[in-house]
């Protein structure tokens, strides 16, 4: 790649200039930028910005990569930075990284810049581009998908922090042979961000729900029907809640909180696990707080999620399980339209080391209207 300015889709990629110094300092001092680029100098001074503009970017180019300023095509103001580093010439491979200043977020700047740079790189010598994101960095994962990168998996402890800590990274890649446009998603976003029937509302699970989910999942009857039947500790629940948006984007599962629509109070949780994309089959599970049981909320939640799964996610069949002695859960499924299809003997681990039977229920789109 050469160093010429390229422009498309509302962004300009050009070399950094001395006039960018103040905005570069502001962007690299922003808490969110620092959260996901922890190796930036602290504090990020004018000298640091000047070194990057005059020397740092030149080093990246010399190594065979790219270091661009993302600029507004109308005003030429600096909006962020994007580049390709960690180049492996023998594999024609590089790694894309980017940041956007707080004054330019929410406008699709990073997605447009990543699409533009990846497209140019993959037609100028690169065969494969990688992109690494932290599991909690949902905004960056949306950029990856929007710019045509496909999720390949988790690299365990691939990231490191200045204090010596290690953390996982989500690996994404885009190939020269990939079709243009955003990467396909198995599980789309909810229309308008929620599902509601006026009585209950379903909202995607996030880190903010950790306390509620921990209390719910620690209830003895909820633990008894969990797999495995062991109460989770708060750290485990915190990790699950923080990673829920990323798993949704990955197409693995959609986890949601069930809210009372009138008060906005969390009443339970429900999840859809897309365990068989090849056959279009997914599995539903749910749990309800004792104070909100007996009001039909789980049935309403199951119906809401099922309709979204069939109409928006293209899922063709839903399954769910219930312990033989869990009459309440069986009633929920039957009222929602599920039909009992069989009994899987000894399928589940029990709390005392025994094996428990699992009643299998299935739901097809036409069952919702029975």
- Domain ranges, ordered by start, for the chain: 6-175, 191-369
Task: Record the tokens describing residue 181, joined without a space.
Answer: 């446009």
Whether residue 345 contacts residue 329, with contact meaning beta carbons closer than 8 Å, is answered with: no
Q: Backbone phi, then psi, for 275, in 5-degree steps?
A: -85, -15
φ/ψ bin of 107: left (φ > 0), alpha (ψ from -120 to 50), beta (otherwise) = alpha
The H or E element that residue 335 is part of is helix 327-335
* Residue 364: per-residue pLDDT: 97
pTM: 0.90
| CA end-to-end distance (rounded Å), the chain | 60
Is 6-175's fold the same as 191-369's? Answer: yes
Domain 191-369 is in which class?
A: alpha beta
Per-residue pLDDT of the chain (370 residues; tens, 9 = 90+): 889 999 998 899 999 999 999 999 999 999 999 999 999 999 999 999 999 999 999 999 999 999 999 999 999 999 999 999 999 999 999 999 999 999 999 999 999 999 999 999 999 999 999 999 999 999 999 999 999 999 999 999 999 988 889 999 999 999 999 999 999 999 999 999 999 999 999 999 999 999 999 999 999 999 988 889 999 999 999 999 999 999 999 999 999 999 999 999 999 999 999 999 999 999 999 999 999 999 999 999 999 999 999 999 999 999 999 999 999 999 999 999 999 999 999 999 998 889 999 999 999 999 987 6
Question: CA-CA distance, 262 to 199, in Å (whole number)?
Answer: 7
For the CA atoms of the chain, what is the radius of gyration? 24
The CATH number assigned to the domain with range 6-175 reads: 3.40.630.30
Q: For tokens 């290690």, name the residue.
A: 166
Question: What's the pLDDT at 1?
Answer: 80
Rounded to whole angstroms, the Cα distance separating 100 from 147 reads 15
Q: Is there a cis peptide before residue 233, judged by omega within 30 degrees of 0?
A: no
CB within 8 Å of 144: residues ≥ 6 apart: 114, 131, 133, 151, 172, 183
């Amino acid at each position: 790649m050469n160093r010429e300015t390229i422009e498309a889709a509302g962004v300009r990629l050009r070399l950094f200039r001395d006039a960018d110094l103040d905005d570069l300092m502001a962007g690299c001092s922003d808490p969110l930028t620092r959260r996901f680029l922890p190796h930036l100098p602290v504090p990020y001074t004018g000298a640091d910005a000047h070194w990057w503009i005059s020397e740092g970017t030149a080093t990246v180019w010399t190594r065979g990569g790219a270091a661009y300023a993302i600029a507004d095509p109308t005003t030429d103001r600096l909006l962020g930075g994007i580049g390709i580093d960690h180049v492996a010439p023998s594999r024609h491979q590089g790694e894309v990284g980017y940041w956007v200043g707080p004054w330019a977020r929410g406008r699709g700047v990073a997605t447009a810049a990543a699409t533009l740079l990846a497209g140019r790189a993959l037609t100028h010598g690169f065969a494969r581009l990688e992109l690494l994101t932290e599991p909690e960095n949902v905004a960056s994962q949306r950029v990856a998908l929007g710019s045509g990168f496909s999720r390949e998996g988790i690299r365990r402890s691939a990231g490191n922090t200045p204090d010596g800590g290690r953390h996982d990274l989500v690996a994404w890649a885009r190939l020269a042979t990939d079709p243009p446009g955003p990467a396909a998603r198995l599980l789309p976003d909810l229309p308008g961000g929620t599902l509601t029937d006026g009585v209950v509302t379903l909202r995607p699970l996030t880190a903010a729900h950790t306390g509620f989910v921990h209390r719910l999942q620690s209830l003895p009857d909820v633990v008894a029907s969990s797999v495995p039947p062991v109460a989770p500790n708060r750290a485990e629940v915190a990790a699950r809640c923080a990673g829920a948006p990323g798993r949704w984007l990955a197409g693995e599962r959609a986890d949601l909180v069930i809210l009372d629509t009138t008060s906005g109070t969390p009443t339970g949780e429900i999840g859809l696990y897309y365990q068989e994309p090849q056959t279009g089959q997914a599995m539903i599970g749910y749990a309800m707080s004792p104070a909100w049981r007996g009001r039909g909320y789980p049935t309403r939640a199951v119906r809401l999620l099922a309709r979204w799964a069939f109409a928006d996610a293209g899922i063709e069949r839903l399954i769910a399980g219930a312990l033989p002695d869990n009459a309440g859960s069986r009633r929920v499924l039957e009222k929602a339209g599920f039909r009992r299809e069989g009994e899987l003997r000894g399928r589940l681990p029990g709390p005392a080391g025994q094996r428990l039977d699992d009643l299998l229920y299935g739901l097809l789109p036409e069952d919702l209207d029975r």
